């Protein structure tokens, strides 16, 4: 195939491949990122629903506590006890404290105090003295004089009879007690357990292997994690994160009064999908999150399917492009072959030889190297052609072309000028002796007997040689001098070779 035909084929093949490949690549990328965004949006919606549900559970939990406080706060027994309106005060106090203890059992309250404005304990679920003020939270007492108050979560032991439960999550709530004329007469202070509440909040259903829910509360320039964490069970009330830091962003957003969702970084420094909500009643931030790698795990299967589809389509496109280019370029190749190759032997013809010779001459002039041209004419070919016919003559020419190619290097070129005339182009030779070796080999090979479909014939060859730059400086001159040298060999007896500047044989 001629160089220009090859170039056309390669260009068309690449063009068709690119036309087929880039749209498929764009579609694949679009599909991948569209599916990825859909998965992220779906997962965030799921996390938002969980965060909202947990926030409502927190709100309901606090409403229930307020209900418990109201039950005791507005009870006539509470008011009468403080106002000393019972005839038998000691008996009434005993009965009231029994009721408080029963309430504790039913409502999972650790302890309850009814405290007078002077700070003395008037009634309690515990057996403590009236002046035993270390038993209740002083801040809660003072805050409870004017409003319903909730303390921060803290960890402490719970004493129940002879047994002690260690490291429980607790908080204190308080509320004012008013008389029948709505005047402040005392305060109710109660300590509540948050363990069951935290267990409810930390239900990881629907959050996979890495997901979790957590609570955070702002404390100065930090966020304190209130509950145990899935990836750090001992974090409750101990672990914190700076509000200005790069970690625990969802908890920071929630605890500072924001609602939202998105891709963020958790307290471990891992990329997560998270939803966060602020719970005004408690002043907490609620977060529901899952590791991004786990959330996008289904995308791996989808990605592999997309890649497989792209590869299959690319192979189909490549095969289709190749076949299309082949059909389009076959006429071009045929024309190129007809224009540059000898139809009988498949060797370069005279026109193509001139192009090749001009190219190697230009290169030789730059590199200061030698080029040899052998002009070869078969001795005895006409006799074979006349005796056995043109078909046998054609077979002989094909065999000669084959033997000539076996005598030269891969960088050399064997061409047919027409009839029984051949050219051997030898570029880049270092010395004339190398050319002589090739010429001797050619003569030796061509004098061997040819078997042409059962017909044995013997011929020889006469070779004229011209070397650039010793004998000629351009293509026409080299061919002319090599031709002249060849005829001199024929006139001298045939079956030999000579250089164009040699003395007569």
- Residues identified as active-site: 420
**Which residue pairs from 354-359 have beta carbons closer than 8 angstroms and sit at least 24 positions apart in sequence?**
354/475, 356/413, 356/415, 356/425, 357/425, 357/475, 357/478, 357/479, 358/475
DSSP for 52-78, please give it: HHHHHHHHHHHHHHHHHHHHHHT-HHH
3-state secondary structure at position 363: helix
Q: Which residue has the tokens 């046998």?
A: 392
Helix H or strand E segment including 124 = strand 121-124
DSSP character at residue 346: -
Distance CA 375, CA 421 (A): 7
- Give the sign of the dihedral formed by CA 274, CA 278, CA 281, CA 282: positive
3-state secondary structure at position 264: strand
Q: Which residue has the tokens 């009330």?
A: 237
Q: Are 305 and 49 in contact (CB under 8 A)?
A: no
Please count the other Cβ atoms lying within 10 Å of the Cβ belonging to residue 458: 12
Helix H or strand E segment including 192 = strand 184-193
Distance CA 198, CA 15 (A): 64
Please count the other Cβ atoms lying within 10 Å of the Cβ belonging to residue 16: 18
Distance CA 184, CA 175 (A): 10
What does each C-alpha distance from 343 to 451, 479, 500 come to in angstroms?
Answer: 22, 22, 30
Distance CA 191, CA 485 (A): 123
């Amino acid at each position: 195939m001629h160089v220009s035909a090859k170039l056309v084929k390669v260009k068309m093949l690449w063009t068709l491949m690119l036309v087929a490949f880039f749209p498929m690549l764009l579609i694949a990328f679009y599909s991948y990122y569209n599916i990825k965004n859909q998965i992220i949006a779906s997962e965030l919606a799921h996390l938002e629903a969980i965060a909202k549900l947990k926030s409502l559970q927190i709100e309901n939990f606090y409403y229930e506590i307020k209900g418990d406080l109201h039950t005791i706060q507005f009870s006539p027994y509470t008011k009468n006890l403080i106002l000393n309106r019972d005839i038998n005060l000691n008996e009434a106090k005993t009965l009231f404290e029994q009721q408080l203890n029963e309430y504790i059992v039913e409502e999972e309250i650790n302890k309850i105090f009814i405290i007078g404005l002077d700070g003395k304990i008037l009634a309690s679920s515990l057996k403590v003295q009236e002046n035993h003020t270390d038993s209740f939270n002083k801040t809660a007492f003072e805050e409870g004089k004017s409003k319903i108050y909730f303390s921060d979560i803290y960890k402490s032991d719970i004493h129940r009879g002879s047994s002690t439960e260690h490291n429980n999550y607790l908080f204190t709530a308080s509320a004012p007690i008013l008389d029948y004329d709505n005047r402040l007469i005392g305060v109710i202070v109660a300590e509540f357990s948050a363990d069951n509440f935290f267990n409810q909040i930390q239900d990881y259903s629907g959050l996979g292997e890495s997901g979790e829910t957590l609570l955070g509360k702002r404390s100065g320039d930090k966020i304190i994690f209130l509950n145990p964490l899935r990836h750090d069970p001992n974090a409750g009330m101990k672990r914190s994160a700076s509000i200005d830091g790069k970690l625990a962003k969802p908890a920071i957003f929630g605890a500072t009064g924001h609602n939202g969702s998105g891709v963020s970084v958790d307290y471990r420094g891992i990329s997560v999908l998270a939803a966060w909500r602020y719970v005004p009643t408690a002043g907490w931030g609620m977060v529901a999150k899952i590791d991004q790698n786990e959330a996008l795990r289904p995308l791996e299967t989808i990605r592999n399917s997309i890649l497989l589809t792209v590869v299959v389509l690319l192979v189909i496109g490549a095969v289709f492009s190749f076949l299309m280019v082949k059909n389009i370029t076959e006429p071009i190749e045929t024309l190129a072959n007809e224009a540059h190759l000898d139809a009988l032997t498949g060797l370069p013809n005279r026109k193509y030889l001139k192009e090749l010779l001009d190219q190697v001459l230009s290169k030789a002039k730059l590199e200061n190297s030698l080029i040899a041209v052998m002009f070869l004419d078969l001795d005895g070919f006409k006799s074979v052609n006349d005796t056995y016919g043109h078909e046998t003559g054609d077979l002989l020419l094909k065999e000669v072309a084959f033997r000539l190619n076996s005598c030269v290097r891969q960088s050399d070129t064997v061409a047919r000028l027409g009839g029984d005339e051949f050219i051997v182009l030898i570029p880049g030779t270092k010395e004339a002796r190398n050319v002589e070796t090739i010429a001797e080999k050619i003569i030796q090979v061509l004098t061997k007997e040819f078997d042409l479909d059962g017909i044995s014939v013997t011929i020889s060859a006469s070779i004229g040689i011209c070397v650039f730059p010793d004998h000629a400086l351009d293509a026409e001159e080299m061919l002319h001098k090599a031709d002249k040298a060849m005829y001199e060999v024929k006139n001298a007896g045939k079956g030999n070779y000579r250089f164009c500047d040699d003395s007569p044989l």
